[in-house]
């Protein structure tokens, strides 16, 4: 086989290519010729596919399908932070196996299984290719919950920006905060932000 099969998905792994009968020699030949682009180790995108909006998120999510884009990476998507994100941050359930990802730089956060799905939604990383991400409400609560890690100013800034958006849902924010065990700090921060 030398030609790129038209049935091969826009984004695919080496394993998927093998399932389509593609020999590794052909796959790497396509990469070298520019027919496919290697997004991450073992993750490829057809050269004739529309460019992805979020190639790093697409690459990491393809390698860790059970992961959910979270924290600063999610905050950046929702314009809740100006912090430059040096790595794709994904949440996985505690105990889950995650491959070592050197490119794109990736930071794995391990969350408890009981509330792992809370606030899960998707964004389209490329046309017709959704990637799991926490919604803006869960993102703010996670930043408040992990403010010792990301910094109080970052967490409080994200909360203020969230409350200033037209789609803000303060009641949902407080509900998520209660479920994730940070209702006190979040309620105080909401009260302060509302008073300003």
* H-type alpha helices, 128-195: 136-145, 147-150, 152-164, 170-179, 183-195
Q: DSSP strand E in 36-165: where? A: 36-40, 43-46, 68-69, 88-93, 106-111, 120-126, 129-134
CB distance 52 to 126 below 8 Å: yes
CA-based nearest residue to 66, from 95, 31, 102, 87: 95
CA gyration radius for the chain?
19
Beta bridge partners of 90: 69, 108
117-134 confidence digits (pLDDT tens): 999 999 999 999 999 999
pTM of the model: 0.88
**Dihedral of the alpha carbons of 148, 66, 120, 151, in degrees to the nearest 10:** 10
Provide the mean pLDDT of the chain: 89
Beta bridge partners of 91: 68, 109
- CA gap 189, 73 in Å, rounded: 22
Task: Provide the pLDDT for residue 194.
Answer: 66
pLDDT tens for the 196 residues of the chain, in order:
457 778 889 999 999 999 988 888 999 999 988 899 999 998 999 989 999 999 999 999 999 999 999 999 999 999 999 888 889 999 999 888 888 888 999 999 999 988 999 999 999 999 999 999 999 999 999 999 999 999 889 998 999 999 888 888 888 989 999 999 888 878 877 777 666 6
Task: Provide the pLDDT for residue 52.
Answer: 93
């Amino acid at each position: 086989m030398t030609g790129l099969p038209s049935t091969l998905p826009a984004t695919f792994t080496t394993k998927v290519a093998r399932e389509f009968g593609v020999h590794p020699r052909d796959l790497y030949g396509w990469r070298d010729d520019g027919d496919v682009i290697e997004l991450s180790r073992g993750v490829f995108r057809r050269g004739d596919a529309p460019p992805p909006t979020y190639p790093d998120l697409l690459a990491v999510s393809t390698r860790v399908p059970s992961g959910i884009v979270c924290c600063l990476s999610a905050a950046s998507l929702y314009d809740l932070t100006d912090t430059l994100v040096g790595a794709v941050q994904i949440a996985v359930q505690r105990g889950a196996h995650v491959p070592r990802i050197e490119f794109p730089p990736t930071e794995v956060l391990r969350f408890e299984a009981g509330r792992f799905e809370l606030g899960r939604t998707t964004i389209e990383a490329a046309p017709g290719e959704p990637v799991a991400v926490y919604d803006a409400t869960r993102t703010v609560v996670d930043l408040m919950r992990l403010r010792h890690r990301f910094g109080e100013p970052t967490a409080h800034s994200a909360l203020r920006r969230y409350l200033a958006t037209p789609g803000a849902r303060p009641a949902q924010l407080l509900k998520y905060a209660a479920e994730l065990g940070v209702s006190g700090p979040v309620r105080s921060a909401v009260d302060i932000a509302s008073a300003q």
